[in-house]
Amino acid sequence: MKNIIQNINKAFDHRIRLGIMSVLMVNENADFSTLKELLGVTDGNLASHAKALESENYITVEKQFIGRKPNTKYIATKEGKKAFQEHIEALEKLISKS
Amino acid sequence: MEASKYLKDIQDIKEMMSKSTQFISLSGLSGILAGIYALVGAAYVNYLINSHYGRYITLESKTFKLILLTAFIVLVLSLGTAYLLTAKKAKKAGEKIWNPTSRRVLINFLIPLITGGIFALLLLKNKHYGLIAPVTLLFYGLACLNASKYTLRDVRYLGITQIILGLIAVEFSGYGLYFWVIGFGLCHILYGSMMYYKYDRNI
């Protein structure tokens, strides 16, 4: 039992971070406004949770300009995808145990 | 208590994954209407051909131009209706009509469709008239199949049906109009109604 709980990743233990990772698992990338719309969160909230995932090296941020508008793109790293996969497997095991 | 939280997490993950890759606001009603436009158009074309009886329809003839015009009007009306009704449905569901998922649907739909359109025009130019109906059905089917990865599942079955019809139509090259009636008319009404009952009614 202990082993399983160890695989539950604290970095994903929040609805917004979970959402960001879910979207980035199945999309090559997603920009700030798309994520905001999908998750239904405020700018500041999204930015701080994205920052948390970035500091774990689970996602990378690409900033560029489209015309004169700044555009922020998020991409899941290999490491992040692996960690998230393990997190999902741990969740599934926990549910089937109980 | 704990387990139910994890179960909720898994549900959230699944929902986000499908919501971010699939455009679900596609209107079923617009499919029904597109089918009706196609039937009306086909009836008019049938009338044109009958009143031309006994003479060969040439590319320069007025009848031929009217047939092309009818096809074009049906196409524009269908696309216009699909856009308006889908925009309305998206608005009700709180989804933007122009987002990454709808863009993906459109691009993946248009690539085979435009390829087929150009192919059909080239066939017309080179006088392979018998193949035009099958080719339009085949490429429309492939366009639906290609776009279906990013939208409602039913579009996939519509696409497969059109492809099968297109292949059968190759063997019956004199009956293009009848296959168009089945493919663009009846199939649209059938699948449109299914989608309407499954998804649109509750919104």
A contacts of B13 (beta carbons < 8 Å): 18, 22, 88
Please say if the pLDDT value at position B43 is more than 60.
yes
Residue B43 corresponds to which amino acid? A
Residues 43-72 of A with CB under 8 A from B: none
The answer to whether the Cβ–Cβ distance between B16 and A92 falls below 8 Å is: no
The pLDDT of residue A94 is 82
What's the pLDDT score for residue B4?
80
Q: What is the pLDDT of residues B109-134, one digit of tens each?
A: 999 999 999 999 999 889 888 899 99
The number of helix segments (H) and strand segments (E) in chain A equals 5, 3
Does the pLDDT of residue B1 top 70, yes or no?
no
Q: What is the pLDDT of residue B56?
A: 67
- For chain B, what percent of residues have pLDDT higher than 70? 96
Is B162:B113 a contact under the CB 8 Å cutoff? no
Cβ atoms of residues A80 and A35 within 8 Å: no
With CB atoms and an 8 Å threshold, state whether A27 touches B21: yes
What long-range pairs does A39-42 form, CB within 8 A, spacing at least 24? A39/B16, A41/A16
Confidence of residue A73 (pLDDT cuts 50, 70, 90): very high
Task: Give the pLDDT band (50/70/90) at residue A11.
Answer: confident
Compute the distance between CA of residue A13 and CA of residue A86 in angstroms, rounded to an integer: 13
What was the ipTM of the complex prediction?
Answer: 0.81
Domains in chain B: boundaries: 27-200
A29 CB within 8 Å of a chain B CB: no
Q: Are B134 and B173 in contact (CB under 8 A)?
A: yes
Q: Tell me the two tokens of residue B166.
A: 């297109």
Write down the mean pLDDT value for chain A. 88
| Of A51, A19, A3, A48, residue with least CA distance to B10 | A19
- 10 Å Cβ neighbour count for B179? 21
pLDDT in tens, B125-159: 898 888 999 999 999 999 999 999 999 889 999 99
**What domains appear along chain A, each with residue ranges and CATH number?**
2-97 (1.10.10.10)
Q: Between the CA atoms of B87, B93, B95 and B100, what dihedral angle is there, to the nearest 10 degrees?
A: -80
Going by the DSSP 8-state scheme, the letter that residue A74 receives in this structure is: E
d(CA B134, CA B164): 10
Region A21-40: mean pLDDT is 91
Cα–Cα distance for residue pair B144/B148, rounded to 1 Å: 6
Which residue, A98, A19, A39, is CA-closest to B14?
Answer: A19
What pLDDT does residue A16 have?
93
State whether A22 and B12 contact (CB < 8 Å).
yes
Chains A and B form CB pairs within 8 A to the count of 49
pLDDT at B171 over 80: yes
pLDDT tens digit sequence for B65-110: 898 899 999 999 999 999 999 999 888 877 778 888 899 999 999 9
Q: Do B12 and A92 touch (CB under 8 A)?
A: no
Whether residue A22 and residue B13 make contact (CB cut-off 8 A), yes or no, is yes
pLDDT above 80 for B201? no
